[in-house]
Every structure is written in C-alpha cells, then in structure tokens.
Structure 1
Amino acid sequence: MKRKKQDRQRHLKETIDANPFITDEALADRFGVSIQTIRLDRMELSIPELRERIKDVAQKQLDEVKALPMEEVFGEIVDLQLDERAISILDVKKEHVFSRTGIARGHYLFAQANSLAVAIIDDDLALTAKATIRFTRQVKAGERVVAKAEVQKVERDRTLVVVNSFVEQELVFSGDFLMYRSAQEQ
C-alpha cells in the first residue's frame, strides 16, 4: 500500500537520518515507489544524494588513522573515532565476486573488517593477533557493505575490536578481532 506523499517524505527523512548510507534504490524498494520519486522527494526535502551524505558524515567524524596508511585500508572509512568506533563502506563490484556465482569472495569482507579493526587503534603499531569471524549471508555484486567497528576492551598491549558488517540492515559478517598494539600506560 502506497503512503501519502507527506507521510512518505516524513518516513523517508527518518530512514535516511537513521541510515545515511542507504541507497535510492533501497529506499524505492522500501517505500514501493520509483527511484525517480525518491530523488524528487529528496530534492524537495533538501536531502543530498548518497555520495554527499557519505562525505558529510566523513568530514564530521574522521580522526586520523595512525596504524596504517589510508590507501591500505580496504573500503572507504567514513567515521573514525580512535579507540572507540569506526565505519567503512565497500561497494561490491564484479572484480570482488566469483564469476560463476556472483557471490563476493570472503577475503574481501574479511579485509574490510580487518583493516577497519587496525585503523581504529590509536597507536602507530596495530597487528591482528587473533580473529574469530562469521559469515552470515552471501553478498553479491552491486551490494554495499557497511562495516561498523567498536572497541570493546583495551588492555596494556591488546585491544578487542568487534566488527559487524551489514548490507542494508542485514548482518552479513561479524568478527571479534584481538589486536596487538604497543604497550599502553594504564
């Protein structure tokens, strides 16, 4: 059942506020309207397109990565608070998937999560000491993976980072990363 325009626009704004990384295509599916209708609604509400929303989040939320060069991070970091939390985005492309099945190769999802776990560490040295990972659903070409990392525990030379990766709101990967770091003062 289609919603009235005002109701749809109100829900559209709430949805984008809750998840600024959602695509127009996903919004169109969610609201049962065309992509063009979503774009017109966004324009009327002065909500920027996805690329601009990502840049806005990144400019507001980015500390400087210490543990590795930015070009070595797999995925695009859009939120980084060292030793607290981080978010990165990976658009799964044809080169990331198996040619026969179109399913993303697991090492790309792991690389995104692991590099985010390294990047979140507020230290010049961060190495993965141990990782416990779970793939919970297949990811296909054309999907956007949003990885969210959170520091759970900091000890003298170890930090536990939990990373959960989502497509839309669905969990596709999770991992607990025990990270080695230079000894910290306690």
Structure 2
Amino acid sequence: MTRHHKQERHQALIEEIEKNPFSTDEELAQRFNVSVSTIRLDRSNLGIPELRERTRAVAHEAYDTLKSLEEQEVIGLLTELKVGQMGRSAMLIEENMVLDKARVARGHHLFAQANSLAIALVDAEAAVTGSVDLKFLRPVHLGETVIAYGKVIKRKGNKYWVDIKAQVNQEDVLIGHWILFGFKAEINL
C-alpha cells in the first residue's frame, strides 16, 4: 500500500474512532479492508489507545454528571450524558445474558439498558419510569455490542418524555418512548 493510501486510512481511522469510540480492532479491520495487525499498528502510530482505554476515558466523563442514579445502577456502560438532554450507553452481550437454546439476548437485558439510560437523563435526585411504549426490532446475538441513544423530547415540571433507540452496527434493534417522573430523594437512615 502506498504512503498516500496509508495517510488517507489514518485520517479515516481517526474520524471513525471519533465517531464511534467503541469500534473493535476487528470491526475497524473489516471496515478498512486491512488486517487486525495493520489496525493495531496504525492505532499505535497515531497514539490511539486500545478499546478498553478509549471506553474508560469516555465513560469517566459521563459518570461524573449522573444525578438520578448511582453508578452501579446503570446497566451497560454510560458513555455520554448531558442530563436533561441526551445520552448514550454501550452493552456487550455476554454468555450470561443470552437464552441457552436461541443464543440471543434476553429482552429484559435490553430493556434494562434502555430504561437505566432514560432514568439517567432525568434532571432530578431520583426518577421512576411511569410508562413505556417499546418495540424490539430484531434479536441481538451473543458477542454483539448494543449502543443505546437517548434524548429528552419534552419536559413539563417533574415529568419527562424520553426517546430511546438501541442499535447494533447502526441497525435499530429496539425503539421506545418513556414517560418518567423526577423527584427529590428521601434518605431514611
């Protein structure tokens, strides 16, 4: 490969990782039609950390802004959060999350990721889900990473309307509309 192509690939790699910091080396290799070792060498030359480090850096900022949940209550990894506006989380589907026979994610795991993201968007000390209109669009398989996007559509007093969309490789797998209620937390010791 000529130097010119390498420079173009480097620029495209930087842009792709900025757009989706959770891309694995394998996904990037497939996207750029090169070997995984080439992607790793490119990342190293460009000073781009491996997936685990990129994920940690992105998540650290998001968790600092959490209001309505504790960090351990978030299902998946919170990667972006602007309370009262929008957020994003990622969840890798692991062995303990799938149905034994079908090898697809159990629906309650996908719902839990989306629901905790919706609650995290509420600008209050605590929040509860009032109602949800939810559609599962396709099964999610073992090893796939689900990226959930949430956006506050409307707020009236302590009532929030939130839309959540979950995707795998930019394909919708779940969409839902939440109504949530924010309130002041009571501490009973």
TM-score where L is the length of structure 2: 0.88
Task: Write the letter of the residue equivalent to 1:11.
Answer: A
Could you tell me which residue of structure 2 aligns to residue 7 of structure 1?
8
In 2: Cα distance, 1:85 partner to 1:13 partner: 24
Could you tell me which residue of structure 1 aligns to residue 181 of structure 2?
180
TM-score where L is the length of structure 1: 0.90
Task: Write the letter of the residue equivalent to 2:116.
Answer: S
CA shift for structure 1 position 145: 1.0
Could you tell me which residue of structure 2 aligns to residue 163 of structure 1?
164
Partner of 2:181, secondary structure, is strand
Partner of 2:141, secondary structure, is coil
CA shift for structure 1 position 103: 0.7
Could you tell me which residue of structure 1 aligns to residue 51 of structure 2?
50
Partner of 1:141, secondary structure, is coil
In 2: Cα distance, 1:27 partner to 1:136 partner: 25
In 2: Cα distance, 1:62 partner to 1:152 partner: 22
- Of 53-62 and 25-34, more deviation after overlay is shown by 53-62
Could you tell me which residue of structure 1 aligns to residue 104 of structure 2?
103
CA RMSD of aligned residues (A): 1.7
In 2: Cα distance, 1:151 partner to 1:119 partner: 11
Task: Write the letter of the residue equivalent to 2:73.
Answer: E
In 2: Cα distance, 1:60 partner to 1:95 partner: 28
- Of 103-112 and 64-73, more deviation after overlay is shown by 64-73
CA shift for structure 1 position 62: 4.0
Partner of 1:130, secondary structure, is strand
Task: Write the letter of the residue equivalent to 2:87.
Answer: A
Task: Write the letter of the residue equivalent to 1:164.
Answer: K
In 1: Cα distance, 2:73 partner to 2:133 partner: 22
Pair 71,59 (structure 1): closer, same or farther in 2 beyond 3 Å: closer
Partner of 1:4, secondary structure, is helix
Task: Write the letter of the residue equivalent to 2:163.
Answer: V
Task: Write the letter of the residue equivalent to 2:15.
Answer: E
Write out the 4+ residue segments of structure 1 that deviate beyond 6 Å after TM superposition.
Answer: none
Identity across aligned pairs (percent)? 41
Deviations 1:77-108 (A, max 9, x none): 12222111111111110111111121111111
Task: Write the letter of the residue equivalent to 1:98.
Answer: L
In 2: Cα distance, 1:175 partner to 1:138 partner: 16
In 2: Cα distance, 1:39 partner to 1:173 partner: 32
Pair 61,70 (structure 1): closer, same or farther in 2 beyond 3 Å: closer
In 2: Cα distance, 1:11 partner to 1:19 partner: 12
Aligned residues: 181
Structure 2 gaps of 5+ residues are 185-189
Pair 159,138 (structure 1): closer, same or farther in 2 beyond 3 Å: same
